[in-house]
Chains A and B, each alone.
Chain A
Amino acid sequence: DTAVSQTPKYLVTQMGNDKSIKCEQNLGHDTMYWYKQDSKKFLKIMFSYNNKELIINETVPNRFSPKSPDKAHLNLHINSLELGDSAVYFCASSQDSGTSGEEETQYFGPGTRLLVL
């Protein structure tokens, strides 16, 4: 049983193309995230959705557009791909309700390795 799944696992594409990455979680969590991990392993949050509502949007170029059709899915669409977009993109989910409690653990997907040529 995969808790957080992402597709595709690998994505190789040309500059200027548009691509999407899909994420699904079967944990019943209310909050989902997209992170970008660069070649130096630095993990940077891009977006967070809580109950399908965007709550974090971290100075990400507007070429990146997240979409949450329901609480279990958070997809990432990237327009006009650039060389600098090459990275590993991780989806994550948590039961985080925005208040202090026991449910802040984030569960990460396996990652999507994007290479822009």
Chain B
Amino acid sequence: QQQVKQSPQSLIVQKGGISIINCAYENTAFDYFPWYQQFPGKGPALLIAIRPDVSEKKEGRFTISFNKSAKQFSLHIMDSQPGDSATYFCAARNTGGFKTIFGAGTRLFVKA
């Protein structure tokens, strides 16, 4: 019940295309859903986050869509660029807890 399932494991997109990464969870106590971006040799860094009281959040080319009833959320990267090539992690955090559960990660490669 504590798991966050992420797909796909890897993704290749043409420059200018849309990258879509999906995540699903079971625990309805999760109240915060961040996405982290990790470049090779670096630590993960927060990209964008959403709470379950909104269905969508957009920051520049990055959009989170959130479906509370389906317990699913996804990251859309519009106009994908080679510089977006990285590993993306979805995550979820419990109300009243300090633990953030990470998905398995998606390696995105954007072809120039």
Contact = CB atoms under 8 A, between A and B. Distances in A.
B87 A41 contact: yes
Given A41-B105, A41-B107, A100-B32, A48 B98 contact: yes
Q: Which of A4, A92, A108 has the most CB of B within 10 A?
A: A108
A103 to B, nearest CB: 10
Q: Which of B34, B87, B102 has the most CB of A within 10 A?
A: B102
Contacts of B87: 41
Contacts of B104: 40-42
A98 B93 CA distance: 10
A103 B54 CA distance: 18
Nearest to A44: B102
Nearest to A108: B43
B89 interface: yes
A68 to B, nearest CB: 14
Contact of B45 (A40, A104, A108): A108
A100 B95 contact: yes
Contacts of B45: 107-108
Interface residues of B, number: 25
Q: Which of A92, A106, A110 has the most CB of B within 10 A?
A: A106
Interface in A25-78: 31, 40-45, 48, 50, 55-56
A102 B10 CA distance: 31
A98 B97 CA distance: 5
Contacts of A90: 43-44
B99 interface: yes
A4 to B, nearest CB: 8
B98 A111 contact: no
Interface of A: 4, 31, 40-45, 48, 50, 55-56, 90, 92, 96, 98-100, 104-111
16 contacts: A41-B107, A45-B99, A55-B98, A56-B98, A56-B99, A92-B43, A96-B98, A98-B97, A100-B31, A104-B49, A104-B100, A106-B46, A107-B45, A107-B46, A108-B36, A108-B44
